Amino acid sequence: MRTEQEMMELIMDVARKDERIRAVYMNGSRTNPTVPKDIFQDYDIVYVVTETESFIKDEGWIHIFGDLLIAQEPDRRDQQFFDDKSDSFQSYGYLMLFTDGNRIDLHIDTIDKMLKDYGKDKLTIPLFDKDNILPLIPAPTDNDYHVKKPTEFMYYSCCNDFWWCLQNVAKGIWRDELPYAKQMFEVVIRERLDEMISWWIGCETDFKISVGKMGKYFKKYLPETYWKMYKKTYSDHDYDHFWNSIFITCGLFSTIAKEVADHLSFTYTGEDDHNMSEYLIHVRNLPSDANEIY
């Protein structure tokens, strides 16, 4: 696997030799001093270019970075649009995974595009500038990714949505509609659970940290008892296991939501908690041939 030094030298060498490339900057986790380095970190690179058309029409130019295992060009997905507009793209992306395990997420941006967007992502550092076109920006910071303190309305909406949508999970299980029940739980319920957990961690850290994309740092910030519960919110296809994970999820959500409310001087809606918990127990025990719910 090529080292970080080798990859950065390659990225810079390509930029130096290509007259179309006028500047280079980087964003993403490699610019964030709070993120531990590991072998899976991407190189999030932006080449500022005089035009994009010649790059886009030369489909093989990215092979200069190494032997590709797989690549993706998200902007090419709409082929008709691409055919019509390929000469007017101000920005174009290449996601590249190489056979040695390295990955580069590369964007080519026109100078006009750069001038509109440069520095909006505060995790940005300049690497190379042939013409002094990159504006001055502050040192990188992940402040924009910190957990944001909720308003009381946001908190109430999260709680209400969590308890309300559990009835959809319950009826999906009773109907033996596994895809529906699972997606309702994993897409809707988990989003509300993760939102509340993020706020709980924010309360514990004065809202000065990031929990990472999709809560990837939950393990780092949750106490062991809560982390063990969180792991058990994931289950397989077996309905008994699924039901067990649902009730663990309810218990965890109820506990942390109350603590968030106490910390932020909000009011937790215990009635929804109680009513839906009783409803879930009832539906779990409801015969599959029942003609009425109650």
Radius of gyration over alpha carbons of the chain, in Å?
24
CA distance 276 to 270: 10
Other residues' Cβ atoms within 10 Å of the Cβ of residue 216: 10
Residues β-bridged to residue 24 = 47, 128
Proportion of the chain above pLDDT 90, given as a percent: 91
Model confidence band, residue 76 (pLDDT cutoffs 50, 70, 90): confident
Contact of 196 with 253, CB cutoff 8 Å: yes
At residue 85, the pLDDT reads 65
At residue 17, the pLDDT reads 97
Q: What are phi and psi of 98, to 5 degrees?
A: -100, 160
Mean pLDDT score, 99-118: 97
Which amino acid, 61?
Answer: W
At residue 83, the pLDDT reads 64
Going by C-beta distance under 8 Å and a sequence separation of 6 or more, which residues neighbour residue 78?
none
223-235 core/surface letters (b: 16 or more CB in 10 A; e: else): eeebeebbebbeb
**Distance from first CA to last CA of the chain, Å, rounded?**
62
Parts of the chain belonging to CATH 3.30.460.10: 4-144
Report the CATH superfamily, name and number, of domain 146-284: Nucleotidyltransferases  domain 2 (1.20.120.330)
At residue 77, the pLDDT reads 73
At residue 82, the pLDDT reads 63
Model confidence band, residue 59 (pLDDT cutoffs 50, 70, 90): confident
Strands 68-72 and 124-129: unpaired
Sign of the CA dihedral with 220 first, then 221, 223, and 226 last? negative
What is the enclosing helix (H) or strand (E) of 69? strand 68-72
Model pLDDT for residues 170-211, shown as the tens digit of each residue: 999 999 999 999 999 999 999 999 999 999 999 999 999 999
Model pLDDT for residues 16-35, shown as the tens digit of each residue: 999 999 999 999 999 998 88
Token reading at 80:
């008709």
- DSSP classification of residue 106: E
Q: What is the pTM of this model?
A: 0.89
At residue 160, the pLDDT reads 97
Model pLDDT for residues 235-270, shown as the tens digit of each residue: 999 999 999 999 999 999 999 999 999 999 999 989
What is the enclosing helix (H) or strand (E) of 156? helix 152-174
Parts of the chain belonging to CATH 1.20.120.330: 146-284
Its CATH architecture, for the domain 4-144, is: 2-Layer Sandwich (3.30)
Which candidate, 41, 293, 42, 72, places its Cα nearest to that of 171? Answer: 293
Is the pLDDT at 52 greater than 70? The verdict is: yes
Model confidence band, residue 78 (pLDDT cutoffs 50, 70, 90): low
